[in-house]
Each structure stands twice: as C-alpha cells, then as structure tokens.
Structure 1
Amino acid sequence: MVVAALWGAVGASALVVGALIAYVRTPGDRLLAVVMALGAGLLIGSVSFELIDDALAHTDVAPVGLLTLVGAATFTLGDWVLARRGGGDRKDPAGAQADGSPLAIVMGSVLDGIPESFVLGLTVLEGGLSVALFVGILLSNLPEGLSSSAGLRIAHWSLRRVLAMWAVVVVVSALSAGLGYAVLEPGASAAALVEAFAAGALLAMVADTLLPEAFRTEGPLTGSLVAVGFAISLTLSAI
C-alpha cells in the first residue's frame, strides 16, 4: 500500500512542477494542448486495456457497463456541484479564477486527482505499476498544473498559496492510490466492479478537464493526437 501511495504522490507531483514553471514562464498554449491530448489518449488506453479488460475477465458485461456509468455520473455530479459553487474556472489559464471561490477551486482540483490516483493504486495491486497509466497521469498533470497555475497567478494568487493547493492534491492523490491498493483483493468480482467504477470516473475526468482545453487550441487536430496517445498506451501495455 505504501508503494502505491508513493506512486500516486509522484504522479501528482507533476502538478507542483507545472506550477513552478508557470510562475517563471508559461509555455505556449499549443504545446500545452498537444501534451493534454496525448495524455488523454494514454489515459483512455489505460482504461480500455487494463481496467475494463481486467474487469470483464472476472465478471459479466452488464455489471461492468452499469458501474462504469455510475462512476462517470459520480464524478460528473461532483464536478457540477463544485462548478456551481465557484470552481468551474479552476483550469482557465487567463485568470477567470479571480471570480470563483478559492475553496471550490481547491476542492475541484482535489476531485480531478482522485480517479487517476485510485486507478493507479488498483494497477499496483494487480501485480505492478502500469507504465502507460503512469505516463498518462504525468502528461495530463503537467499541463494542468501549468495552465491552472498560470490563471491563478493572473488572479493574484501567490506562489505559496498555489503550491499549498497542489500539495493538498498530492496528499489526496497518495491516499487515493493507497486506498485503491488496499480496498480489495485482485481478481475478485467485487474488485472488477471497483475497476469499472474507477474507469467511468476516469473517463469522465478526461472528457471534462483535458479534451475541452486541448480542443480549444488544437481544434480538429486534437482527435489525431488523442489517437497517438492511445496507440502509445497500447504499445506500453504490451511491453
């Protein structure tokens, strides 16, 4: 469990690195969009090749499909509630966060980090770290930390305050990964349902937070970049 928690913390630490870079010099929007699209493809691939594939190996299609929908709905509901409370612009690189609620922004960032970290813990439980998932998390967290922190800087958040926010996310991500490892034994039908639930939440997170930001800059090219990330995930999963 400790190993899983450490990997969760390392994956989330890319957010801190992104924040530090943003307060020195933020890379161009196109580079951030490309990295986000590739990260989205990697995460979608991890959901397909590892979570859903393993879940279907241990239980029937119907409950896997149902729990995937429940996981997606759970994340969407949480995201909607936080958006209504002032956290909807937490990822805006132009400083729209100035009109939002600081607590909702922090809680929204925490919510974004939970599904991927929980899933990472599940993969460690099943016999070893998923390289494809871990790379996808890094490629999604780095530009997220960059763009969100750039907006928070414009909204007059101090670097110390931003780093404190991301530190909370890192801690929660570590705990989520540890929980994903500790909650169930591998191979059980109950574990398969947890995998399906986590897969749905992760898919919703990718669709809500990564793809819109990537498409805003790259437009139609986003689809091809996501496909490239998906292919990379397939390759890494086969190694």
Structure 2
Amino acid sequence: MPQWMEAGLWGLAGGGALVAGALVAWFLRVPRDVVAVVMAFGAGVLTAAAAFELMDEAEKNGGLLATSAGFLGGAVIYVLANVLLSRHGARHRKRSRNQPSEADQAGSGTAIAVGALLDGVPESVVLGVSLLGGGGIGVTMLAAVVISNVPEGLSSVAGMKQAGRGARYVFGVWGAIAVASGISAALGNLLLDGASPQLIAVITAVAAGAILAMIADTMIPEAYERARLYTGLCTTAGFLTAFVVERLG
C-alpha cells in the first residue's frame, strides 16, 4: 500500500471518531455529565500530545524559532476563527451558565462541527507527516485525536437535533469532516515529503498551538460546566494516560 494511502486511512480513522460519537448520541441518550467527563479526559490527552508528540518533535527537528512561530501562529488562527464564529452567532462550543435556548443549542451544534474541522485538518496533516522517513504513525497523537473527537461528536448532536436536523444532515456533516481529515493526512504525507525540517516544524507547531488554544477556550470550560470538581482529576488522568502511551510506544 502506498504510504500516502496509509496516511489517508489513518486520518480517516481519526476523523471517523467524530462519526462514532455522533452515532452514539443519535441512538442513545448520553447524559451531559458523561460527555463532560470524556471531554475533560480528552483535554488531558490532547495537552500531552501537543507537548510530547508535537512541540518536542518540532523543536528537535526544526529548531526553537520555527517551532515558536508556528505555535503562536496556530493559536492566533484558532482564536481568530472563534471570533469570526461568535460574530456570526455561532458560539463555538461555549455554553451559557443558564439553560440554553433552542437557538443557542442549534448554533452550538453547528459551531462544534466547524471547530472540529478547524482542529481536524492540522491534526491529520501531522498524522500524515509522522509516516515520512519510514516512521510509524504517532500513536499518542492518534489516540489524542480519537479520544477528543468522540465527545465532539457526542456534544454536537443534541444541538443539531434541537434545530430539527435529520440524520442525513447530521451524518453528512460529520462524514464530510472525516473524509476531509483523511484527505489532509494523505496530502500532508505527499506534499511534505522532502520538505525542510523547519517547514515541517512550523506546520507541526501550528497544530499544537491550535490544539492548546482550543483546549483552553472550549474543552475545559465546557467540561467544567458539568463535571465541576471532577474536571481537574479527569484531565490529569487523560494527560497521564497519553504520557504513559508515549513512553511505552
């Protein structure tokens, strides 16, 4: 199997976790407290992946300057995307402390889908890059993508249902994002083969910056809305799990 095709399949598998989360929420009534716990755990996994799988490797390969520039750039891109979404009435994965209205829930579901696309593309590119040079897939990064994508799919479906969206729309959206993740991984593997270490470091660090900004701006606040005092413990457990996987991998 060509390496770019393998990369695409891994990216599709990571994006497929979004569809899996949506399927669970569509057919089962998942308590929001459970979603919050999974979200907090995923935040911990992503934090570890950003630190050890992305930033550490980027700095080793491309140097501190390129890594720092990419990291800050990724955070800025993510924050600007959130600002644009909020100005258009789509509160990106943010919940009101009061009971959300029907319009709020509908907007939240769509915003999560948009946010998942913003997260998924750089994450998938990194998965594709990790195969270059004969290296294996980044196990920690793949686990982080899967674990964080499941609660995104879970939490979006309630808002989409509230808006009266049917199964064709819901799974069409998540299926398209999963396909985009696979294509991004394949393109990352194809187009970045032979690229300079500095360029790969910048792209890798962009993903890390966007991920960390997303964790701080959306995942932790949303998890704390429900999990409260358990949020820190669940996030710590997620971080430790990813750390152990990285060290044993």
Deviation string, structure 1 residues 127-164 (Cα, Å, up to 9, x no partner): 11122222221211111111101221122111111011
When residues 7 and 99 of structure 1 are mapped into structure 2, their CA distance, relative to the original with a 3 A threshold, is closer
Question: How is 1:41-190 mapped onto 2 (pairs within 5 angstroms)?
Answer: 41-88=44-91, 95-97=102-104, 100=107, 107-125=114-132, 127-184=135-192, 185=194, 188-190=197-199
CA drift at 1:12: 1.2
Q: Give structure 2 stretches of 5+ with no counterpart.
A: none
225-234 vs 52-61, which moves further: 52-61
CA drift at 1:115: 2.9
CA contact (8 A) 1:113 1:173 kept: yes
CA distance in 2, matches of 1:60, 1:170: 32
When residues 140 and 91 of structure 1 are mapped into structure 2, their CA distance, relative to the original with a 3 A threshold, is farther
Aligned partner of residue 87 in structure 1, secondary structure:
coil
For normalisation by structure 2, the TM-score amounts to 0.85
CA distance in 2, matches of 1:190, 1:156: 44
Could you tell me which amino acid in structure 2 is paired with residue 199 of structure 1? A
CA distance in 2, matches of 1:102, 1:30: 17
Could you tell me which amino acid in structure 2 is paired with residue 87 of structure 1? A
2-11 vs 201-210, which moves further: 201-210
106-115 vs 84-93, which moves further: 84-93
CA contact (8 A) 1:36 1:214 kept: yes
Q: Give structure 1 stretches of 5+ with no counterpart.
A: none
Question: How is 1:21-60 mapped onto 2 (pairs within 5 angstroms)?
Answer: 21-60=24-63
Aligned partner of residue 160 in structure 2, secondary structure:
helix
Counterpart of 2:240 (choices 220, 227, 231) is: 231
Aligned residue in 2 for 1:219: 228
Calculate the aligned-residue CA RMSD, in Å.
2.6
Could you tell me which amino acid in structure 2 is paired with residue 229 of structure 1? G
Deviation string, structure 1 residues 165-205 (Cα, Å, up to 9, x no partner): 11111111112222332332377222122212221122222
CA distance in 2, matches of 1:99, 1:27: 17
Q: Percent identity?
A: 39
CA distance in 1, matches of 2:88, 2:11: 27
Could you tell me which amino acid in structure 2 is paired with residue 25 of structure 1? L
CA contact (8 A) 2:92 2:218 kept: no
